[in-house]
Structure 1
Amino acid sequence: MTNKIVLKADSIVKYFYEPVKFEVLKKVSFEVKRGEFVALIGKSGSGKSTLLYVLSTMDTDYTGTLELNNEVLTNRKQNELADFRNRNIGFVFQFHYLLPEFSALDNVMLPALKLKKKSKEEIEEAAYKNLGLLGLQEQALKKANRLSGGQQQRVAIARALINEPAIIMGDEPTGNLDSKNTQIVFDIFRELSKERGQTIIAVTHDDDFAANCDRVIEMRDGVII
């Protein structure tokens, strides 16, 4: 693992204005290195999910500076950020957000087809490879709605990897899974960080999941404790 910094947040301040003005993130600063597997924890309302949305560039209404993959992303235009996200960030949410009528393979290919950096054949080959990595090669041509919940979440991880992102961000990635599938997904993330140097930041309420990550960042009342 190199010590290269992939993500740097510096003095991130964020307010909510409804029902009253409220400081939800209070000068949050931290760095994440390449290949680190980081859990973001804290009680409901601690600011962890809000922080993840700022880090993911989906929420731009904050002050402070955000750097990802050596690019300063603060004050960029929305279309620039959308392009940056597709190239550099893979997302795994609590719900898989697969297109139900599409096959597992098609779902995995979508972000790469949108990026248009490789030919369709190259993208298909990479998608098969990712599904194989996650033990799903046999399920590649099955429609997403014919897969089990655990399989659907693994397809979502394969999709998150397709553009070889600098970082994977997970928002409760095991929140809808039973303990067996939670362990499978955790083991996949662990292997990705150890074997492929994949950087992962996951918001989780699962104490066991967090305890086994490389680092735990705990939040309380909008600050890292």
Structure 2
Amino acid sequence: MNLIEVRNINKYFDQPTRMQVLTDVSLDIEKGHFVSITGKSGSGKSTLLYLLSTMDTAFEGSIRINGEEMQGKRNRWLADFRNHHIGFVFQFHYLLPEFSVLRNVMLPALKLARYSPAEIEQRAMDILKLLGVDGQATKRASLLSGGQQQRVAIARALINEPLIIMGDEPTGNLDSQNAAIVFDLFRQLSSERGQTILTVTHDDDFARRSDKVIHLVDGRIAG
């Protein structure tokens, strides 16, 4: 089953002059697959991820996620869709340093208010345990190592049970050992929990070991 269906996407930047960044991009991503988007700097990979995240709505073509068409939707509808269905992991973790690890993970779920605070706390602890950082739950986020902080960021991305986790260079700030840990966590989430993972990466080894690689060259899918 295709969770994401992209058809004939064209994307332009208008500043300082009009330039085409993506050209006639079409792709399918199956539910539960672990997919990497690769390409040189300027190839359009981050632009494509940003479109798929629904945060950029200025494009030509069609993006369907879980059967819903993203083209033409209002910003409020898209924001609600993101909150319910997409979790984000970035190169930098963006944790709130003065808050505890547990609180950082709980915040998106408290905002969504799908569960009671007590239920959210239990879910957050369960996810932290899955990712091997439950022992850090009461610590301030600023006191964790870089690898631990990125695992907490993954936990935060999972708290609202998203259809898709999207990562923008999620191992870019990590050493090889912690990058391998993050990869293994994504692999586990995909294979054992049926989680769909979509990441932009410069790490060739990371990409090679994912289920599918979408390689961009000058705004087009290669191969």
User: Is TM more than 0.5 here?
Assistant: yes
Worse-superposed segment, 61-70 or 177-186: 61-70
Tell me which residue corresponds to 1:191: 188
> Partners of 1:96 and 1:76 in 2: how far apart?
29
After superposition, residues 111-190 of structure 1 pair within 5 angstroms as 111-190=108-187
Q: Does 1:18 align with 2:19?
A: no
> Partners of 2:4 and 2:199 in 1: how far apart?
14
Q: Which of residues 205, 210, 213 is equivalent to 2:207?
A: 210
Q: Which of residues 29, 34, 39 is equivalent to 1:32?
A: 29
Tell me which residue corresponds to 2:81: 84
Tell me which residue corresponds to 1:50: 47
Q: Deviations over 1:146-189 (max 9, x none)?
A: 10100000000000000110000000000000000000000000
TM-score, structure 1 length as denominator?
0.98
Q: How far 1:20 sits from its partner (Å)?
A: 1.3
Tell me which residue corresponds to 1:64: 61
* Count of residue correspondences: 222
> Partners of 2:79 and 2:108 in 1: how far apart?
12
Q: How far 1:95 sits from its partner (Å)?
A: 0.4
SS of equivalent residue, structure 1 residue 7? strand
Amino acid at match of 1:167: I
SS of equivalent residue, structure 1 residue 125? helix
Q: How far 1:122 sits from its partner (Å)?
A: 0.8
> Partners of 1:14 and 1:165 in 2: how far apart?
26
Q: How far 1:131 sits from its partner (Å)?
A: 0.2
* % identical equivalent positions: 62
SS of equivalent residue, structure 2 residue 9? strand
> Partners of 1:107 and 1:70 in 2: how far apart?
31
Q: Does 1:109 align with 2:110?
A: no
Structure 2: tracts of 5 or more residues without a match: none
Moved beyond 3 Å, runs of 4+: none
Q: How far 1:75 sits from its partner (Å)?
A: 1.0
SS of equivalent residue, structure 2 residue 35? strand
Q: Deviations over 1:51-85 (max 9, x none)?
A: 00000001111011111111111111111111110
Tell me which residue corresponds to 1:201: 198
Amino acid at match of 1:224: I
TM-score, structure 2 length as denominator?
0.98
Q: How far 1:212 sits from its partner (Å)?
A: 0.5
Q: Deviations over 1:80-137 (max 9, x none)?
A: 1111101000000000010110111111011111111111111111100000000011
